[in-house]
Amino acid sequence: EDQVTQSPEALRLQEGESSSLNCSYTVSGLRGLFWYRQDPGKGPEFLFTLYSAGEEKEKERLKATLTKKESFLHITAPKPEDSATYLCAVQGNYGQNFVFGPGTRLSVLP
């Protein structure tokens, strides 16, 4: 059974304090790993897709990396507007469904 865990559950940072969020997964053949951002009361917003170990993607202050067992979302010099819940999801080779992790609630204080 495909599984995704995320850590930490919640993270509070000062503005400018860089950190990383972890997504660990087990899947029977990885088709893709996806990062989303979700603001309260809104649907998830797509950030990145990673398909193979060693791949990296960047967007503004965010950088996602992938190994065979986990993915990291690095946040460099975060701003208060980066505060949100960050969700990780995997899609296995057998089926089209995503398995979502529980998310990391990030708060960036000014």
Smaller CB separation from other proteins, 14 or 46? 46
Smaller CB separation from other proteins, 17 or 83? 83
Smaller CB separation from other proteins, 42 or 77? 42
- The conformation of residue 41, written as its DSSP 8-state character, comes to T
Q: How far is the CB of 8 from other proteins (least distance, A)?
A: 14
Write out the residues near other proteins by the rule CB under 8 A.
31-32, 34, 36, 41-46, 49, 51, 87, 89, 91, 96-98, 100-103, 105
Q: How far is the CB of 80 from other proteins (least distance, A)?
A: 20
Q: What are φ and ψ of residue 106, in 5° steps?
A: -105, 130
Torsion of CA 11, 77, 109, 38, to 10 degrees: -60
* β 30-38/45-50 pair status: antiparallel
Q: How far is the CB of 81 from other proteins (least distance, A)?
A: 18
Smaller CB separation from other proteins, 16 or 102? 102
Q: Kindly list the distances between the CA atom of residue 67 and the CA atoms of 40, 41, 42, 94, in Å, as whole numbers in the listed order.
A: 30, 32, 30, 20
